[in-house]
Amino acid sequence: MRKVSIFGATGSIGQNTIDLIDRDPDAYDVVALSGGRNIAQLADDAIRLKAEVAVTAHEDLFEDLRAALTGSSVEAAAGSNAIDDAASRPADWVMSAIVGAAGLKPGLCALEQGATLALANKESLVTAGALIMGTAQKHNARILPVDSEHSAVFQGLVGEDFSSVERIIITASGGAFRDWSLEDMARATPAQASSHPNWNMGQRITIDSASMFNKALELIETKEFFGCPHDMIEVLVHPESMIHALVGFKDGALMAHVGPPDMRHAIGYALHWPERRDLPVERLDLAKIGQMHFRAPDPKRYPALRLAHEVMEADGLSGAAFNASKEIALDGFLEGRIGFLDMAGVVEEVLTRLWGGACHINAEMTLDTVHETDHIARQTAETVIAERQ
C-alpha cells in the first residue's frame, strides 16, 4: 500500500485528492491529513480514511479536533509546527495543497524525508523556487506539478529533450472580469470576483484569476520548476479553459494539452505517475465544442503579468516579496480597504520600495531569509494600503 499524506485536505484541491483516494481506499495507507478551520470535514475524512494523524493549523481548535476524533484511532494535533512534524512522517506521496506561503515549510519537510511531492501550492515555487528545487535534489526526492498548466507542460515534455523547447505557453481563462470594462473592474466587489466562469476553486485563487495574479504566480512557477528563462514563457487568453498549456519546439511544432477544466486530472496524473490510470473526468467531445478562442492578454487590464516578468528578472527573494505583498493586497481587497484594480498598484509600490533598498532582496535564499522578506513585504504592503486610505 502506498503511504500518502494530504496537506490542505479540507480545501478545494485537498477534497479533490480525497475524492480520488476514496475511489480506491485499499490502495492507500493515509498517514496525515491537515486542515485549518474546517474541523468537521477534517475529522470526518481522517476517520473514514483511517489516517494516523489529523492536524489543524490553529492551536485554539485543538480541543474541537480532539473531541471530533473521539472514539477513533486518529491522533489529533494542532499548530504549524505540528503540521511540519506530520509532513516529516514517512510517506511515499505527499499532496501540498495548503493555500499561501504557509505551504512552503511542510513541502520542504516532505522532500527532506524523500517523499514524492505533488505540488499544488504554487507559492512554494514563487517564494522559494531555488530552495525547494534544491531540497528535492539534495534528498533525491521528486516534485510533480499539480497546477493544471504546469502538469500540462510536464506531460508535453514526456520523452522530449528540454533543449529543443523554444517556448512555453500557459493559458488563462481571463477569470470573472474577462469581458468587463476597466471602469467596472475598478468598482468590482469581492463577491463578483469570487465566481469563476470555468473552474471551481478556493476563493483566493479565484480572485487571483480575475486579476491575473494567479497567472503571474504561474509564470514564476514555470520558470522555477522547468528552469527556463522568463522570456521563454508566454500567457495566452483562452476563455474555454480546455487547452491548459502548449509547448513550442525548435521545429515549429506546438504540443497542446487538451482536457476538461477539472483538477482531478492533474491531481490524478501526479498520483499515478508515471502510469496513466482511469480518472473520473469528462471526456471532451471536440466536434460538439466546435470552436476555441485565443487572444493576447491586455497589459492595461492585467499589470500583474508585467510585474511577474520584472520579478523573474530581478530573481533572488523578489518572488517572496511579490507573493507576500499580493496576499496582503488581496486581504485589503477582501476587507474593502482597497479596490480591485488597486491590488497591482500596492504590489508594484512594495516591490519598488524593496528593490530600492528596504530589504536584502539579493541575500542568499534560506528559509529564514524567505520568511524575513515575506515579513517585510507584508509590513510594507500594510503601510502602502494605509497610505492610500
Residues in the site for ligand NDP, rule: CB under 6 A? 8-14, 35-38, 57, 97-99, 102-103, 120-123, 147, 199, 201-202, 204-205, 263
Which is closer to ligand NDP, CB of 8 or CB of 297? 8
d(CA 328, CA 330): 5
Least distance to Mg ion from the beta carbon of 121, Å? 12
Least distance to Mg ion from the beta carbon of 103, Å? 15
Helices 263-272 and 12-22: crossing angle in degrees, nearest 10, is 60
Are 31 and 3 in contact by the 8 Å Cβ rule? The answer is: yes
The residue whose grid cell reads 510585474 is 307
Alpha helices for 179-302 (secondary structure H): 182-186, 190-193, 203-211, 213-226, 263-272, 286-289
Tell me the site size for Mg ion, rule CB under 5 A.
3
d(CA 219, CA 222): 5
Are 354 and 374 in contact by the 8 Å Cβ rule? The answer is: no
Which is closer to Mg ion, CB of 199 or CB of 355? 199
The residue whose grid cell reads 499524506 is 5
Q: Is 123 in the site for Mg ion (CB under 5 A)?
A: no
Report the largest interatomic distance among the alpha carbons of the chain, rounded to a whole angstrom.
Answer: 62
User: Hey, what's the cell of 376?
Assistant: 517585510
Closest CA to 372 of 304, 329, 316: 316
Which of Mg ion, ligand NDP, none has residue 297 at its interface (CB below 5 to 8 Å by kind)? none
Least distance to ligand NDP from the beta carbon of 106, Å? 8
Which of ligand NDP, Mg ion, none has residue 14 at its interface (CB below 5 to 8 Å by kind)? ligand NDP
Least distance to Mg ion from the beta carbon of 218, Å? 5
d(CA 220, CA 125): 8
Binding mask 156-195 for Mg ion (x = CB under 5 A): ----------------------------------------
By CB under 5 A, what part of segment 132-161 binds Mg ion?
147-149
Least distance to ligand NDP from the beta carbon of 336, Å? 20
Residue whose C-beta lies closest to ligand NDP: 11
Least distance to Mg ion from the beta carbon of 220, Å? 12
Binding site for Mg ion (CB under 5 A): 147-149
